[in-house]
């Protein structure tokens, strides 16, 4: 797995067990995806008790989106050939200026493709900055010709 992926997983507080699980899922998608995996994102949220829960693990190549739903405890995987431009996306933010995340920051991003496939990405705390960068670098950029 790429070193920047490992640094990202450490920065959002994934446990050693979940980092090992992520590495195994990366290897599986690496075998299945015909392109190099270039981006990673873990959806997370803060519970009412104040703990951080991780939900889905996402990988992205230039043209493919891969998701391991509820990756902490199940194997529910899918992969989508992403058609650009995205036909619809929505963004919701709380206590986030799109510049620097705080402990109270939350960011929600939903997208739909022309084939009606959908995805929902959410981040809390410092993960908002990673989601912001993913939105700008992956979803909002112009497709290569």
Q: What was the pLDDT predicted at 114?
A: 81
85 prior amide bond cis, ω within 30: yes
Q: What percent of the chain has pLDDT over 90?
A: 88
**CB atoms near residue 48 (< 10 Å):** 5
The whole-number pLDDT of residue 144 equals: 61
CB atoms within 10 A of CB 136: 11
pTM: 0.93
Instruction: Quote the pLDDT of residue 74.
Output: 96
Give tens-digit pLDDT for 136-145: 999 987 656 5
Average pLDDT, integer, range 55-63: 97
Contacts of residues 76-79 at CB distance under 8 Å and 24 or more positions apart, as own/partner, are 77/25, 77/28, 77/29, 79/29, 79/32, 79/33
Domains with residue ranges and CATH for the chain = 3-139 (2.30.29.30)
Q: How far is CA 104 from CA 51, 69, 120, in A?
A: 13, 25, 20
| pLDDT score for 115 | 81
pLDDT tens by residue, 75-132: 999 999 987 778 899 999 999 999 999 999 999 999 998 888 899 999 999 999 999 9
Mean pLDDT score of the chain = 94
Q: Which helix (H) or strand (E) holds 2?
A: none
Give the phi and the psi of residue 13 in degrees, each rounded to 5. 85, 25
Residue 12 pLDDT level (bands cut at 50, 70, 90) = very high
């Amino acid at each position: 797995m790429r070193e920047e992926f490992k640094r990202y997983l450490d920065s959002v507080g994934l446990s050693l067990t979940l980092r090992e699980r992520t590495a195994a899922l990366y290897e599986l998608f690496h075998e299945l995806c015909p392109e190099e995996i270039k981006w990673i994102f873990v959806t997370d949220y803060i519970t009412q008790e104040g703990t951080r829960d991780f939900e889905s693990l996402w990988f992205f190549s230039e043209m493919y989106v891969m998701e391991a739903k509820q990756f902490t405890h199940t194997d529910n995987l899918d992969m989508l050939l992403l058609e650009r431009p995205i036909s619809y996306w929505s963004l919701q933010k709380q206590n986030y200026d799109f510049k620097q995340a705080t402990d109270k920051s939350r960011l929600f991003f939903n997208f739909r493709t022309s084939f009606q496939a959908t995805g929902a990405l959410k981040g809390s705390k410092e993960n908002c900055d990673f989601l912001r960068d993913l939105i700008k670098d992956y979803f909002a950029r112009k497709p290569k010709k």
